[in-house]
Amino acid sequence: MITTKPATRPGNPRFSSGPCAKRPGWSLEALQDAVLGRSHRSKIGKTRLQQAIDLTREVLRVPADHRIGIVPASDTGAVEMALWSLLGARGVDVLAWESFGSGWVTDIVKQLKLSDVRKIEAPYGELPGLSQVDTDRDVVFTWNGTTSGVRVPDGEWIKADRQGLTICDATSAAFAQDLPWDKLDVVTFSWQKVMGGEAAHGMLILSPRAVERLESYTPAWPLPKIFRMTKGGKLIEGIFKGETINTPSMLCVEDYVDALQWGKGIGGLDALVGRADANTAAIAAWVERTAWVDFLAVEPKTRSNTSVCLKIADADVAAKGEEAETKVAKRIVSLLEEEGVALDIGHYRDAPAGLRIWCGSTIETADVEALTPWLDWAFAAAKAELTKAA
């Protein structure tokens, strides 16, 4: 057990799960060409917004027949647009194994008040039985549970000839995991996750099947202007050509474009996925040789490669109960923040006590490797304090 402070520190201590670390080498100079003081509806403004859409398509390898739109209110806004605009035409299966999935359950059941809803749930660390899902119904799910570190391993459980729509919240998966576009009808994410962009803007990607639903189905409830994607029974195509529903921050747009150009420049999606995988592998190697910590995700194949969630597995601490585990986890977080070694790595407020270390594509593997001895040092210090207090 490490009792002295390690000599090497991470070059970048920012391991927050959102907003996430900027790309390597980022500085404000990267935004010097931002379209500031101009209308987003000007020719240059629309050109830059279209550039963000085009680069998104290129880096994520989104099929040409899918629409990509920039929408308000981050990933939450994008998901809400989809739920309020598309659901109600048939029964819904909604999956929940962490806080955000549980939030979509609340929206569907308590706000939209849909009656034909099946909730397929699992506790933190586990994935619901995907064989229970009926994709002839609409399906709402998160691809990667940001607050649990549990992701779906693939899209094999989704039928190719499904009758329902699959609505996928992919906010901490997009750009770090290869999404099966043929199995997904609606995909949402936000700029501030894997690409380390600025917050408040969401992305909404629609398959032709989702567009068909929008143009053929009218929900029973009124839709706020900010959610409306059709007019006169036809898709408002401008939304998917850079004509945003509300005014975006062109400074944030420039930052997103910069991140996309970086991702494209290092080798595109394969390189981005590889970076996240390498970061998570560094954590996994450390966990394998470390007795006091373990992954929150029970099954290795469902472990996230971005929001890596860990639990305290030390027998002495566990014997003292959940309160002791929480104290130790919080103390680790505060010690490392005080040292400037790791920032914002505490567990999500609704999740079990532990640590959450962002390993997405903008993180350097060398920084993850430098962090792990510090985790050992902080745990030793936190456990000693707990023992002394007892």
pLDDT tens for residues 124-145? 999 999 999 999 999 999 999 9
Q: What is the pLDDT of residue 3?
A: 80
Residues 324-369 have pLDDT tens digits of 999 999 999 999 999 999 999 999 998 999 999 999 999 999 999 9
pLDDT, one tens digit per residue, over 280-324 is 999 999 999 999 999 999 999 999 999 999 999 999 999 999 999
| CATH code of the region 268-389 | 3.90.1150.10
User: Which residue intervals of the chain bear CATH 3.90.1150.10?
Assistant: 268-389
Residues of the chain with pLDDT > 90: what percent? 97
H helices of the chain, where?
Answer: 43-60, 74-86, 99-106, 208-216, 250-265, 268-288, 315-319, 322-339, 365-389
Q: Which two tokens stand for residue 198?
A: 């600025």
* Mean predicted confidence (pLDDT) in 47-57: 98
* The predicted structure's pLDDT at residue 76: 96
Buried b or exposed e, range 90-99, using 16+ CB within 10 angstroms: ebbbbbbbbb
Which tens digits make up the pLDDT trace of 216-226? Answer: 999 999 999 99
pLDDT tens digit string along 98-112? 998 999 999 999 999
Fold classification of 29-264 (topology level): Aspartate Aminotransferase; domain 2 (3.40.640)
Q: What is the dihedral sign for C-alpha 72, 76, 82, 85?
A: negative
Q: Give the mean pLDDT of the chain.
A: 97
Range(s) of the chain covered by CATH 3.40.640.10: 29-264
Each residue of 243-288: pLDDT tens digit?
A: 999 999 999 999 999 999 999 999 999 999 999 999 999 999 999 9
pLDDT at residue 1 above 70?
no
Strand, helix or coil for residue 21: coil
pLDDT digits (tens, 9 = 90+) for 169-185: 999 999 999 999 999 99
SS3 per-residue string spanning 287-301: HHCCCCEEECCCCHH
